[in-house]
A and B are shown apart, each in its own frame.
Chain A
Amino acid sequence: MNARTLNILGLGLVGIVGIAFLILTPRFAELDTVLELTVYMIMAVLSLSLALIWGYGGILCFGQSAFFGLGAYTYAIAMFNIGESTVPFLLAIALPAAFAALLGYFVFYGRISDVYLGVITLTVTLILFNSINSTAGPEFHIGAARLGGFNGIPGIPALNYPGNKAAAVDLEGMFYLSTAALLVTYFGLRLLLASRFGRIIVGIRENERRAELLGYDPRAYKLVTFTIGGALAGFAGCLFANWGNFVSPTIFGLAQSAQIIIWVIVGGRGTLIGPIIGCIGIQWLTTALGANQPSGSDWWTKLLANAPFIFGVILIAFVLLVPKGLVPTFGDFGQWLLRARTRRVAAASLEPKQAEEG
C-alpha cells in the first residue's frame, strides 16, 4: 500500500465516521449528551485553526482564544443590534480575520521573531480579557448590546436559517450545524493543504530561508495562513456563543488559550485529525473528572479529581514521552510494523536459498 492509497483510505474513513456520527447521534443519544457533543465539535473547529497555523504554518500563537472570543463577542453584539443572524454570522468570521490580518501584518512584515509572536498574541488575548472584564456597568454598550463585563452577555439570540428570522436553529439543529462545520472545516483544510498554497506554507515551515531563496515571500504566506486561522477561530467562537447563548470574558482567559495548545500537542502537530482527537479526548476527560467528585477525603483521591493537575501531568507526559503527539506516533508505529513485515517476508524468501547453499 503506498502513501497515496493510505491517504485516500484515511479521508474516506473520516468522511464515513463523520457522517455516521452526524446522522446517528441525535437518534440514539440523550439530549444532554448531544449538547455535550455539540461543544466538542465546536472546540474541535477551534483546534483545527491552531492545527493549521502552528502545525502546518509553523506559527506558534499562544493567543488563538483572542480570535475565538472576538468571534463570539462579535456575534453576540451584532445579534442584539441586527436581530437576523446572517450578517452577525459573517461579521463573527470577518472581524477576527481582519484583526488577525492586522496583527499578522505588523508581526510578519516587522520581522518580529517567532518567539515574540507567541508573547504578543498571548498579551493581546489578556488585554482583551481585562478590557472586557471591566465593562460591567450599563454605560458600556455597543448599540443595543450591553457588554456586561465579567458577568458576560446572556441570552444571545440563536442563529436562524439565512434570511428567515423566525426559523431559529434549535439544540438538535446546533448539533447538526456544529458537526457539519467540523467536517467542512476538516475537508476544506485538507484541500487547502493539498493545494499549491498549502504545500508552500509547509515548505516555509521546514526551511524559511530556502523558500525565500526560491522566490517565495514567507511574510505574505504566513499572513494569509494566520488570517485563515483567525477566521476559523472566529467561526468557532460564533458557534460557541450560539451553543450556550452566553459568552463571558473567560473565553479570552489563560486557561482557554493553554487548552488549545494542549489539544494540538497531545493530538500531534502536522496532522489535522490529531488535534481533533486531542481536543475531544481532553474535553471528555474534563467532563469525566468533573462528574467524579471525590468520595473519600484521601489526598490522592482529591488529587485525581483535580483537573488542572491532571492536565499538567498529561501535558508533561506528552512533551517528554510522546513529543510528536498521538497521531504522528501511531503513524510511525504503523510504518514500523509494515517495515517489520516486509523484512519478515524478505527473510522468508531468502530461507530456501540458504537451505540449498547449506
Chain B
Amino acid sequence: MAEPLLQTRDLSMHFGGVKAVRNVNFTLAEGELRCLIGPNGAGKSTFFKMLTGQLQPSLGQVLFRGHDISKAHAHEIARLGIGIKTQVPSVFDGLSVRENIWLAASRIHNRHRVNAVVDEMLERIGLTSAANRLVGQLAHGQRQWVELGIVLSTDPDLILLDEPAAGMTHEEVNKTAELVREINRSKALIVVEHDMQFIRMIAKQVTVFNQGSVLVEDSVENILRNPLVRDVYLGKQAAA
C-alpha cells in the first residue's frame, strides 16, 4: 500500500482532567476527501489544532508523509503543506480582502507573479468587486469565503475545513460544496461539518468522533443508516 498522506498514532489531548481527544488512530490517503462528524465537544476542533501545530499533543504522534510533525511549530507545518480554515474565521479583519489574499499568496509566489494570482483567487471566491473592502466589515458568509481564499492561496496539499458552511445561506452552502468537490480534484481534504445536507453533497468516507474517540468510520450511506451514530447525535450514550 502507498504511504498515507496523514496518519495519527494514539493521538491524545488532555486539558487537565478533560480528555478532549483520546487515542485517535486516523489515516488519510493522498487525494482523499474525508468528512469528520460528531456531536458538540467531541474533539473535532482539538484534533485539527493538533494536526496544525496549534496544540502540542499530550500523547501520540502525527505523521505527514511519514514525517513526525507532532512537535513542529504551526508555521513549519503550514510550510509542509497543511492549510486550515478554523471554526471561528481567522482572517485579517483590519485589512482589505485583497491584502488578505495577497498575504497568503505571497508566501509561495514571488512579487512578479503574486498580483496575478491574487486577482485569479478574488475571481474564484467571487469577491473581486469587494476587493478593497475591509474584511471586518463583510458579512459572516463572505468572511468565510475570504478565509477559504486565504487557505487556497498557499496551495496546501492537505486542507482542513472546520465547519465551512456554518452561517451560510442555502445558496452559499451549495456553492461551498461545489468548491470542495473542485478542490478535491487535486487536493486531499478533511471537512468537519454538522450540516448533514452538506455532508451528503460532498462525502464518500466519514469518520465519526464521540467523546474524543473514533466511534465508527464508514461510507456515507452506511453512516447515515448507523443507529449508533444517530444515538450519539441525539445525545444518548453510545452502547458500545
Contacts and interface: CB of A to CB of B under 8 A. Distances in A.
Contacts of B104: 214
B54 A209 contact: yes
Interface string A216-237: 1110000000000000000000
A103 interface: no
A212 B91 contact: no
Given A213-B78, A214-B103, A217-B75, A203 B92 contact: yes
B225 interface: no
A177 interface: no
B99 interface: yes
Contact of A212 (B74, B95, B132, B150): B74
A216 B93 contact: no
Nearest to A207: B92
A111 to B, nearest CB: 11
Contact of B95 (A206, A213, A216): A206
Contacts of B95: 202-203, 206
Interface string B195-236: 000000000000000000000000000000000000000000
A213 B52 contact: yes
Contact of A213 (B90, B93, B94, B99): B90
Given A199-B99, A215-B154, A216-B75, A210 B132 contact: no
A161 to B, nearest CB: 38
A213 B79 CA distance: 9
Nearest to A212: B74
A15 B150 CA distance: 36
Contacts of B54: 209, 213
Contacts of A20: none
Nearest to A220: B75
Given A202-B95, A206-B93, A206-B94, A211 B103 contact: yes
Interface string B87-125: 000111111000100111011000100000000000000
B73 interface: yes
The winner among B79, B84, B90 for most chain A CB atoms within 10 A is B90
A166 interface: no
A346 interface: no
Contact residues of B: prevailing secondary structure: loop
A321 interface: no
Contacts of A211: 103
Given A207-B91, A210-B150, A213-B52, A196 B111 contact: yes
Nearest to A215: B78
B83 interface: yes
A136 interface: no
Given A203-B95, A207-B90, A207-B93, A217 B73 contact: yes
A213 B73 CA distance: 9
Contacts of B94: 206
A200 interface: yes
A77 B86 CA distance: 54
A78 to B, nearest CB: 39
A203 to B, nearest CB: 5
Contacts of B79: 215
B102 A214 contact: no
A218 B104 CA distance: 14
Interface string B116-139: 000000000000000010000000
A218 B73 CA distance: 11
Contacts of A213: 52, 54, 74-75, 78, 83-84, 86, 90
A203 B83 contact: no
A3 interface: yes
B78 A3 contact: no
B92 A212 contact: no
B161 to A, nearest CB: 13
B147 to A, nearest CB: 9
A75 to B, nearest CB: 38
Nearest to B81: A215
A212 B75 contact: yes
A216 B76 CA distance: 8
Given A202-B95, A203-B95, A207-B93, A216 B102 contact: no
A209 B54 CA distance: 9
Interface of A: 3, 196, 199-200, 202-203, 206-207, 209-218
6 contacts: A202-B95, A206-B92, A211-B103, A212-B74, A214-B107, A215-B107
Given A206-B93, A209-B74, A215-B154, 18 more contacts: A199-B103, A199-B106, A203-B99, A206-B92, A207-B91, A209-B54, A211-B103, A212-B74, A213-B54, A213-B75, A213-B84, A213-B86, A213-B90, A214-B150, A215-B78, A216-B75, A216-B107, A217-B73
Query: What 4 A-B pairs come out closest when comparing CB atoms?
Result: A215-B78, A206-B92, A212-B74, A215-B79
